[in-house]
Amino acid sequence: MAVGILLVGGFGTRLLPLTKNTPKPMLTIAGLPVTEHQLAMARNAGITTVVLATSYLSELFIPYFGDGAQWGMKLLYAVEKEPLGTGGAIANAAELLDADEPVVVFNGDVLSSHNLSLQIRQHQENNADVTLHLTSVEDARSYGCVPTDSDGRVVAFLEKMESPVTNTINAGCYVFNPQVISKISRNTVISVEREIFPELISNKARLFGFVDNSYWLDIGTPKALLKGSSDLVSGVADSSALAMADVVLHTNQKLIMSRAVVDESAVIDLGSSIGAGAVVGARAHISGSIIESGARIGADSIVRDSFVTSGSEIAEKSKILASFVTKDEILPIPA
């Protein structure tokens, strides 16, 4: 069996101001934190022990996820006082795990339906040092691109570039042989993408690509965050976390979580989600938006393509288009 490390310690600067008080993986998509959807995916592949590698706003994870028993999992927490980078975070988190099982490392900002069980099996069959999930995108310019040879061996790990040599990119889910992790320097800031993978390749380590083009999305930008949520609501993407959660109503247009009070005359559509205990007033129209738990939307308001954070209030008759709404400010989402 394999164990997991979830990288959830980044600053999430591209999602400011949402990430001022909430770490990116704790932001709500389709009624639940991003991390909850990812843990469900790990569990489906038989991974029940996961270390959350936290740093920025680390204190916000434990009150929600606790020891993981509610999800039938064992969750552990590794806290970096200062972020150690993705490589340093993996080394730090692995200290909480037994040393002899494959370790699956997940970037904490990815929604993916790829076949993780098969990725782990191929890793074992290849006797690999690391097996990386790779996916194909139309435009690879904003991703690290990863060419492989005819045996599936990774031949290079290339940073973002104007003319990528392949459209196969790093999808942010790696199966590691634990001995490879044990060689990463402890308490050192180091990047798995920029330092560890290129070094392993130049040392002829056994790095394999696992190409799977199922649904995949990096939710690290404002538009992608909203898209990820509406994809989960509409069924373009699926998450078994929703089956275990307190969902009151789920159609392909809307998702309404427990204790939300939605006026009968309100219209909720285009993959919107209404978080637990949120209130939506009469004749409000919410389209393609995420309303987090406890937010209040006044009567006759229009909210479109927007993210309304926990506890925020929108006055009656407001018109909120493509914006982030927090308790302090309303900011247009950059184009």
- Phi and psi, residue 83, nearest 5°: -55, 135
By CB under 6 A, tell whether 294 contacts ligand GTP. no
In this structure, which amino acid lies at residue 275? G
Asked if 157 and 84 touch (Cβ cutoff 8 Å), the reply is no
31 vs 108 by CB, closer to ligand GTP: 108
Residues counted in the chain: 335
> What's the number of CA atoms in the CB half-sphere (13 Å) around residue 222?
20
Closest CB 212 distance from ligand GTP, rounded Å: 19
Asked if 208 and 123 touch (Cβ cutoff 8 Å), the reply is yes
Q: Which of 102, 164, 209, 220 binds ligand GTP (CB under 6 A)?
A: 220
By CB under 6 A, tell whether 86 contacts ligand GTP. yes
The answer to whether 183 is a known catalytic residue is: no
- Phi and psi, residue 327, nearest 5°: -65, -25
Considering only 2-10, 194-202, 250-258, 299-307, which stretch makes contact with ligand GTP by CB under 6 A?
Answer: 2-10
Considering only 4-12, 173-181, 259-267, 290-298, which stretch makes contact with ligand GTP by CB under 6 A?
Answer: 4-12
Asked if 174 and 235 touch (Cβ cutoff 8 Å), the reply is no
**20, 160, 223, 319: which one is catalytic?**
160
Closest CB 116 distance from ligand GTP, rounded Å: 17
Considering only 8-16, 59-67, 202-210, 308-316, which stretch makes contact with ligand GTP by CB under 6 A?
Answer: 8-16
Rounded distance, CA 230 to CA 250, Å?
12
Rounded distance, CA 292 to CA 273, Å?
8
Q: Which of 17, 68, 83, 298 binds ligand GTP (CB under 6 A)?
A: 83
Q: Which residues bind ligand GTP (CB under 6 A)?
A: 7-14, 24, 53-55, 80, 83-86, 89, 107-109, 220
